[in-house]
Each structure stands twice: as C-alpha cells, then as structure tokens.
Amino acid sequence: MQKTALITGASKRIGKVIAQHLASRGWNIAIHYNSSSAEAEQLQNELKQRFPQNQFAIFQANLMNEAEVQQLIPAVLKRFKSVDLLVNNASVFEPSSLKETSLELLQQQMTVNFQSPFLLCRDLANVCDKSLIINFVDTRITNNRSNYAAYSISKKALWELTKMAALEFAPNIRVNAIAPGVSLPPEDKDETYLWNLAKDIPMQKPGGLEPILRSLDFILVNDHLTGQLLFADGGENLGKKS
Ligand SMILES: NC(=O)c1ccc[n+]([C@@H]2O[C@H](COP(=O)([O-])OP(=O)(O)OC[C@H]3O[C@@H](n4cnc5c(N)ncnc54)[C@H](OP(=O)(O)O)[C@@H]3O)[C@@H](O)[C@H]2O)c1
C-alpha cells in the first residue's frame, strides 16, 4: 500500500528536495506551504508528471496561526488514508543576539520552529496508530553561540521534544531528528557565502543536500531507531578546525 508523507515547508529548498526524493521512492506527498503557493503548485504538477502512480496534494497553513496548524493533520487525513511520515521541516531563521531579540522575533521563531511541530506531533499521535516523525533541527543546537539566539533556542527545544515524544509515542511512532549544518545558502546569499562558512568545519566544504537525504533514508529503513539525532553537518558539531 502507498504511504503518505506530510512535509511542512515543502514548496522550496530542502523541503522540496525531500518531497522529490520520497516521491521517487513511491510515497504520496502532502505538500504543505505558507506563502509560496506558485512554487507549491509547480512542485505538485512536476511530481504528478514524473510519478503518475502516486498522489500529491497541497495544503496551505500559516504555522504562526494555531487554528491553521491544528487543521493541518485533519485536512491531510481527509485527502489521504493515513499520515505515515511527518517531516517538520518548515522554519524561520533570523539573526539576532540575546540583547537585540525583540519579543516579537522570539515569539515568531518559537511558534514556527517549536510550537507548531509540537502541535503537529501531538495531533498525529492522537489520530495515527502507526507513523514516523522526523524533526529538522540544526547543528547549532550543540553550541551556545547567540548570533541567531531565538532560532537556536527554538531548535534546542525541538530536539528535546523529539526525545520526549520518542519515549511517549513508542513503539507505534518513532521520532527522530536530523541536524543539517552548512547545506544551502539563505535565499539572499550565494554559494561563496556557504563555502566561507564551511571552510573551518571538519569536512571543509558544504555538504549540500545529499547527506540530508542519506540521513532521511537511514531513519526510514532502521525501524528500531527512535529518539536519535543524525547530524548532516560535515562534523561541525565537533567544533571548528581553527
Ligand atoms: N539551509 C540550511 O543550510 C540549513 C542548515 C541547518 C538547518 N536547516 C534546517 O533545515 C530545514 C529546511 O531548511 P531550509 O533552508 O530549506 O528552510 P527555509 O527555506 O528557511 O524555510 C522552509 C519553508 O518554511 C516555511 N515557513 C516559514 N514560515 C512559515 C510559517 N509562518 N508558516 C508556514 N510555513 C512557514 C516557508 O514556506 P513558504 O515559502 O510557503 O512561506 C519556507 O519555504 C529547516 O528546519 C532549517 O532550520 C537548514
């Protein structure tokens, strides 16, 4: 039977590549987006053409809005029989030191990056007997640099949630996390920015998307794995070379 993956923030970048990867392995995809409706429709059309035997549907929800978050799993279940995989990928990423962080920025980072995955994990566990959750965190959770203070705290919280949910939801739902490092430049920056960031990490080059997809595949096939964090960061969690 075909399985369905709900991927948040799937219209672009890492979420889109995950959608394409899972579709190529026979998954139906529930493509969640917020503002990128044209990109979401484009991805849905592309996937329908490439994989006509699978089902693809798009779902809009602003993860800043609790009501919209809480409607997401029910909406996907109306369209598909089950949610066999939830990928909490959507995220906001804003620089700000602790001293400079406004309440508004803190609330935005915590709501999109932590509160909405929390609610989606909860809602999934309340309706699905068997499933799998993958939360996207960040290699930054291993250090205390505060140049993205609210973002880092939100991802640290998401990792704690991953372990707590893994314990409560076992054995029916496995919950794991992937921590990318230098993978894709922000939309307003180019590859040079990425290479500059990566020159001091142990592997001394950006990882791109392949390590993320390999981590995803590992979680999918290893059905005894839960509460674990896979770094896709070229060793950055160990520290910088210089
Ligand atoms: N890129 C990297 O190198 C890197 C490094 C470390 C960790 N990560 C993690 O990997 C994941 C994917 O990274 P990425 O760079 O591909 O992410 P991204 O481009 O920054 O964001 C992905 C999507 O999140 C959605 N989003 C943002 N605010 C939202 C809201 N209020 N409601 C609903 N959706 C919202 C956006 O959807 P719309 O466009 O539809 O609005 C956006 O396309 C993230 O969790 C990130 O923290 C990435």
Q: Is residue 148 part of a domain?
A: yes
Q: What's the domain range around 197? A: 4-232
Distance 12 CA to ligand 1 centre (A): 8
Report the nearest atom of ligand 1 relative to the CA of 111.
31
Query: How high is the pLDDT of residue 242?
Result: 83
Q: Is residue 172 part of a domain?
A: yes
- Compute the distance between CA of residue 132 and CA of residue 117 in angstroms, rounded to an integer: 13
Q: Are 182 and 233 in contact (CB under 8 A)?
A: yes
Q: Is residue 206 part of a domain?
A: yes
Query: How high is the pLDDT of residue 127?
Result: 97
Q: Is residue 241 part of a domain?
A: no
Q: What is the mean pLDDT of each run of 10 residues along the chain (242 residues)?
A: 95 98 98 98 98 98 98 98 98 98 98 98 97 98 98 99 98 98 92 93 96 98 98 96 86
Report DSSP state, residue 8: T
Distance 9 CA to ligand 1 centre (A): 6
Query: How high is the pLDDT of residue 1?
Result: 75
- The secondary structure of 87-123 as a DSSP string is EE-------B-TTT--HHHHHHHHIIIIIHHHHHHHH
Query: How high is the pLDDT of residue 104?
Result: 98
Q: Is residue 242 part of a domain?
A: no
Q: Is residue 187 part of a domain?
A: yes
Distance 216 CA to ligand 1 centre (A): 17
Ligand 1 lining (C-beta closer than 6 Å): 9, 11-15, 33-36, 62-64, 89-93, 112, 136, 138, 180, 182-184
Domain count of the fold of the chain: 1
- Compute the distance between CA of residue 179 and CA of residue 28 in angstroms, rounded to an integer: 24
Gyration radius of the chain over CA positions: 17
Q: Are 147 and 165 in contact (CB under 8 A)?
A: no
Q: Is residue 213 part of a domain?
A: yes
Beta strand 4-7 with 28-33 is: parallel
Query: How high is the pLDDT of residue 16?
Result: 98
CATH of the domain at 206: 3.40.50.720
pTM for this entry: 0.98
Distance 1 CA to ligand 1 centre (A): 30
Q: Is residue 106 part of a domain?
A: yes
